[in-house]
Amino acid sequence: MNWHLLPVKKINELLDCSADGISSAQAAERLLRYGPNELEEKKKKSA
């Protein structure tokens, strides 16, 4: 999806949020559903 082409209002609808963000309850529910917003650290290639 080309998110950058969508109007902000449409993105807010798709992500179930508002311009002010999400509530603490929504954040807690999403944390349980999707897990923490962290990248997995991959092994680095040595020289």
* Contacts of 17 by beta carbon, 8 Å cutoff, 6+ apart: 26
Reported pTM: 0.64
Mean pLDDT by 10-residue block, N- to C-terminus, for the chain (47 residues)? 94 93 95 94 83
**pLDDT (0 to 100) of residue 43:** 85
**Buried-state track 4-38, b at ≥16 Cβ within 10 A, e below 16:** eeeeeeeeeeeeeeeeeeeeeeeeeeeeeeeeeee
